Structure 1
Amino acid sequence: MSVVAALDNARSELFRALGHPVRVRVLELLHDGPKTVRHLLEATALEGSGLSHQLAVLRGTGLVVARRDGNTVEYSLGAAEVAALLLAAREVVAGLAAGQGQLLAELRVEHTW
């Protein structure tokens, strides 16, 4: 596999990991600092197995890392750039939403019957 293909694969896996609302929510929760599994369970209202699966996907891409302290597992963002990625995603979504709002306003003005 070429370097370009490997990079394309890595980016694709990153975006695939970001393609689930629960995983995005977990990343947002971790943006404020490390959280225990218990806290993540309470905040996401998932069952343990469901959260475990989502965390495994995030760990697999390196977006989150786990640290065990006795019986407690604590998760945190895998790199500071993940926080920047979340912020960039918010800005893109906000910009798209604003653009859609403008388009709807223009359609209403043009098509007043």
Structure 2
Amino acid sequence: MTAFESAVVAAILSHMNNDHPDDNLVIVRAFGAPDAERATMVDLDTIGGTWTAWLAPEDETVQVVIPWPAGTIAARGEIRREIVALYDAASSALGLPARDHVG
């Protein structure tokens, strides 16, 4: 496993958890915890991302580790692309409408 700098990881986790909590839930429901009620991204590296999912009704938590769709990545700029790809694939798998990703 190859890690990104801790400041990079912290910034991305903060962004995903503060600005995209619903996206985290879509990704987790599609790729590992279909009964999740909420999810937070807790780690990432060059291989993939890790989320904690809270399951209903007991509020049990599970870790969901999902590899990046394109395989191993090396640059910070690739992280956004891979998270968007995960979200798009998750939305498709769950039958949700496609979203235009701006910015």
Please confirm whether the aligned pair reaches a TM-score higher than 0.5, indicating the same fold. no
Indicate the TM-score class for this superposition, using the shorter chain for normalisation.
under 0.3
Question: Normalising to structure 2: TM-score of the pair?
Answer: 0.26
Identify the structure with the greater helix proportion: 1
Quick check: which has more Rg, 1 or 2? 1
Identify the structure with the greater strand proportion: 2
